[in-house]
Structure 1
Amino acid sequence: MATPAENTGLTNLQFVTVETFVIQFIIILIVLWVLNKFVFRPYLAYLDEWEAKQKKVQEDYNNAESILEEKRKQGDELLEKARFKGNSVIEEAESLAKSKKDAILLEAQTQAQESITLAHSQIEKERQSMLSQIKKNVVDMTLRLNEKLFKDSKVSKDFIEKNIDSL
């Protein structure tokens, strides 16, 4: 027959009874309830909270990304407007500079023309003055010469004054 060493182990079923089975079942239920109450539910709540935080972080990231893209577009638009405005300011400055240059050139030409006209009129006045002075000197000289030659300056003076204007 079997020795006591052989009766130990799994073949020894004398301790398996309905009462021990019920007690073990109750202990397993208590362990499962404790695990459910203190481990599984808090862990599931933590996982739900973590998942909600991750969703919020993802939403915040997406919002920040869309805001960044919008700001980038606004920056590009602002840069384009500034570039356009800068180009228009440059064109306006060039146009203004050209018009100022043209105005200054026109004014300089006008002043030069006025100076030339003034110089011509001055020269003409001096020429007329010199011509008048020469005529006067010629008349005086002719009258003196006539007076010395003919001893009558009155007749010669009328004749000379009439003919001197034709010179």
Structure 2
Amino acid sequence: MLSVSFWKLLTNWKPPLAFLILYCNATLQKVKSMGKNQIVNNTPICKLRITAIKDTMEILSGKWKFHILGTLMEGGKMRFMDLLREVNGIAAKMLSKELQDMEMNHLVSRTVLNTKPITVEYEVTEYGRTLEPIIDEIAKWGSAYRNALHSSALLHLHKRLR
């Protein structure tokens, strides 16, 4: 789990992505023009950016997190057994572990209802919802990449058949 001070840093300081890219590229050009073997990502902004990306990838890594988040974003509040049915191929123990991880990282909230037997509901938090456009963009990129690979494979096959 990330430290509180890092969360504050992430939520309070939001330079535009274009600025970060330009700053890192300008640093790269400066290093190249100096002819020295310095590490390109040694600037504070680049280090912060790399750390933020590593933290994000750590939080969202794994086979199931995107599937679970997407299911909860589309389905709203869901009980554990409903999630288990919706997420094809996941074991109950793995679903429980992934939900605990996402709850610890404030992406998913867990509500225990006072029923007999006890019912537990999960839903994406407001903070977790901020991942929706990112997940959409990753899905678009994945589709475009798959299409490009498929087109490339067909082109290669077509050339071989000539």
Q: TM-score, normalised by structure 1?
A: 0.22
Structure with bigger RCO (C-alpha 8 Å, 6+ apart):
2
Q: TM-score, normalised by structure 2?
A: 0.22
**Structure with greater strand percent:** 2
Which protein is bigger by CA-based radius of gyration?
Answer: 1
